[in-house]
Amino acid sequence: MTLSNRPHPYQDLREFLARIDDIGELRTIRGASWDLEMGALAEIIYHGEQDNPPAILFDDIPGYPGFRCVSGLTNSSQRLAITLGFPLSKKPLDIVQSYRDRMKEHKPLPPVEVQPDQAPIYENVLRGDDIDILKFPVPKLHELDGGRYVGTDDLVIMRDPDGDWVNIGTYRSMVHDSKSLGLWISPGKQGRQIRDKHFSKGEPCPVLICVGHDPLLFLASGNELAYGLSEYDYAGGHRGLPFEVVRSEVHGLPMPAYAEIVIEGVMMPGDTRIEGPFGEFTGYYASHASPQPVVQIQRIYHRNNPIMTMASPMQPPSDFSFSKCVTKSGMIWDEIERAGLSGVQGVWCHEAGGARMFNVVSLKQRYPGHARQALHLAASCQSASYMGRFVVVVDEDVDPTNTFDVLWAISTRCDPSEDIEFIRRAWSGPLDPILNETSGTNSRALIDACRPFERLKEFPPVARASDGLRNAVAEKFKQQLGAD
Ligand SMILES: Cc1cc2nc3c(=O)[nH]c(=O)nc-3n(C[C@H](O)[C@H](O)[C@H](O)COP(=O)(O)O)c2cc1C
């Protein structure tokens, strides 16, 4: 699907919810408490209904009339297709392919500014004593969490003091009290680099935390893009229409005009408080409680009857892990091709690895060394670099999404002492459960599970019936095989 014939984008989260409801992918759950019940229900649904689980709209949250919270917005192939304006499909690799095709013509599209009277986010503004973040149904997601987390499916918006661009990242934020939050940003993240720039000059770091918004912004925000490319522009390029933004009152930062809830605040150098622990996407409470910068809340903006967005990390699968697999796979495919690699047939970042730690590239080998080149690029490109672990390259006859076939290829086409290489001291961080507290780096195993290029012609043939034979025999015996 080209950008010129993509469907008209939905205007906001509310229209998106109506569209996914139309295709039967929105389930409303009434009466769940913010206190562990919303988190446990997300786990029950995402662990229990692994085949196409719905998005969950929590309504009638006890103690919070008029407020709703939604989880799992982009976590199916069809919901991703609606988010990105692709043809509807239930097949993940169709979405990966559409993403990779889209990127061939994608151009960043900067947002346009509107005035507060045109921006629904300005329907309510809380200032001074009225500021109370616990006015919203902020969930406590897991039993051992250090507190209630308002920012999980969030957009943390900051301006780079050294360049006139705005970064957006998804970073967890924990409520300390009604007027302050803790924000956990891993070393190396662009938001962390920006915050460090402010602090190294001894300056406060202004920030917006949006916790209800268009899921396309969440997709952009939660994935690593090139430094200097604003997620607003990147997401606008996918939308085919610029996002509308409106300046915040205190720091003049751009808020999505149709956002549901935006927190505006400031982090001061040296002002820290204990944040965490928090159940994370690897499936562990990694990164213990630690002192992290405090966001002093200066304003809260919200629409009438606002809808919070929530993403609950846990032992995968979670309410966002599938979405991450698809977007990450498309991004890696796009990036390694941009780096000049030919022959890529597919990429899949497995959900069990949290879409980061077990990634597979399928390749039609064309020259000696081609498979290793694919491995190094797929391990080190921007979208794959953070917290990677295993990268596998397989031949084009192996479906990279099929764990059984990938393990078969590793078992039969990879000679461990020759075909597994390591990258050491690569970018990781405190969420990596294998690391000790002080190390920021891990290693990568690059597993070449392709037939050796030099032996492609004489490598033993695969013991599998040809398609012709298989189809003919299946047709002849279909009644006894129980086929329709
Ligand atoms: C649901 C979700 C939660 C995340 N939480 C965090 C977090 O707490 N801290 C962090 O550093 N990265 C977190 N990430 C990953 C970052 O959002 C991701 O690395 C992104 O590229 C960061 O933006 P940046 O590259 O502009 O810094 C999360 C991603 C998702 C999808």
Edge-to-edge strand order for the sheet containing 441-449? 344-349, 358-363, 390-395, 441-449, 420-427
Asked whether residue 139 is domain-assigned, the answer is: yes
Cβ-contact 210, 255 below 8 angstroms: yes
Number of independent structural domains in the chain: 2
Assigned domain for 478 exists: no
Judge whether 408 lies within some domain. Answer: yes
Ligand 1 centroid vs 442 CA: distance in angstroms?
Answer: 18
- Asked if residue 3 has pLDDT above 80, the reply is no
* Structural contact between residues 99 and 327, judged by C-beta atoms closer than 8 angstroms: yes
Which CATH number covers residue 82? 2.30.110.10
Q: Is residue 249 part of a domain?
A: yes
User: To which H or E segment does residue 169 belong?
Assistant: strand 166-169
Ligand 1 within 6 A of 184 CB?
A: yes
For 237-292, the DSSP string reads HHHTSPPEEEE-TTT-PEEETT-SEEEEEEEEEEEEEEE-----TTSS--S-SEEE
CA angle, residues 239, 240, 245, in degrees to nearest 5: 65
* pLDDT one-digit tens code per residue, 43-94: 999 999 878 899 999 999 999 999 999 999 999 999 999 999 999 999 999 9
Same domain, 121 and 192: yes
Q: Which atom of ligand 1 is nearest to the CA of 429?
A: 11
- Asked if the structure places residue 379 within a domain, the reply is yes
> Residue 269: what residue type?
P
pLDDT at 163: 85
Q: 298 and 169, same structural domain?
A: yes
- The answer on 449 and 383 residing in a single domain is yes
What whole-number distance in Å separates Cα of residue 237 and Cα of residue 110? 8
State both tokens at 105: 């013509």
| Overall average pLDDT of the 2-20 stretch | 87
CA dist., res. 190 & res. 439, Å (int): 19
pTM: 0.96
Among 289, 310, 331, give the residue marking a domain's end.
310
pLDDT tens-digit series, residues 204-223 = 999 999 999 999 999 999 99
Give the per-residue pLDDT at 95: 96
| Segment 347-377, tens digit of pLDDT | 999 999 999 999 999 999 999 999 999 999 9
Q: How far is CA 430 from the centre of its chain?
A: 18
Q: Whose CA is nearest to atom 23 of ligand 1?
A: 169
How much distance in Å is there from the Cα of 191 to the middle of ligand 1? 9
Question: Same domain, yes or no, for 295 and 230?
Answer: yes
Tokens of 37: 């019940």
For residue range 22-41, list pLDDT tens digits in order: 999 999 999 999 999 999 99
Task: Give yes or no for residue 1 having a pLDDT over 60.
Answer: no
On whether both 294 and 403 belong to a single domain, the answer is: no
pLDDT digits (tens, 9 = 90+) for 325-348: 999 999 999 999 999 999 999 999
- The pLDDT of 422-433, averaged and rounded, is 95
Where a domain ends, among 310, 330, 356?
Answer: 310
The response to whether residue 185 sits with its C-beta less than 6 Å from ligand 1 reads yes
Q: Are residues 71 and 164 in the same domain?
A: yes
Same domain assignment for residues 286 and 430: no
349: in domain: yes
Give the per-residue pLDDT at 436: 79
Q: Is residue 148 part of a domain?
A: yes
The boundaries of the domain holding residue 395 are: 339-455
Q: Residue 325 falls within a domain, yes or no?
A: no
Mean pLDDT value across residues 93-107: 96
Same domain, 294 and 150: yes
Statement to judge: residues 260 and 368 lie in one domain:
no
Complete DSSP assignment for 26-75? EEEEES--TBTHHHHHHHHHHHH--SSPPEEEEES-TT-TT-EEEE-TT-
**Which of 267-281, 290-304, 323-337, 427-441 comes out lowest in average pLDDT?**
427-441
Atom of ligand 1 nearest to the CA of 224: 21
What percent of the chain lies above the pLDDT cut of 70?
98
Q: What's the confidence (pLDDT) of residue 483?
A: 65
**pLDDT of residue 12 exceeding 80:** yes
371, 364 contact by CB (below 8 A): no
Q: Are residues 218 and 270 in the same domain?
A: yes
Is any atom of ligand 1 closer than 6 Å to the C-beta of 346?
A: no
67 in Cβ contact with 137 (< 8 Å): yes
What's the pLDDT tens digit per position in 104-135? 999 999 999 999 999 999 999 999 999 999 99
Query: Are 427 and 301 part of one and the same domain?
Result: no
Question: Can you state the angle between helices 321-338 and 370-380, rounded to 10 degrees?
Answer: 130
* Residue 272 pLDDT exceeds 70: yes
**Locus of tokens 């903006």:** 301
Average pLDDT, the chain: 96
176 and 219 share one domain: yes
Q: How far is the CA of 417 from the centre of ligand 1 (A)?
A: 35
Atom of ligand 1 at shortest distance to CA of 231? 26
Please check the confidence at residue 2 and state whether its pLDDT lies above 80: no
The pLDDT value recorded for residue 287 is: 81
CATH code, domain with 393: 3.40.1670.10
The tens digit of pLDDT for each residue in 163-180 reads 889 999 999 999 999 999
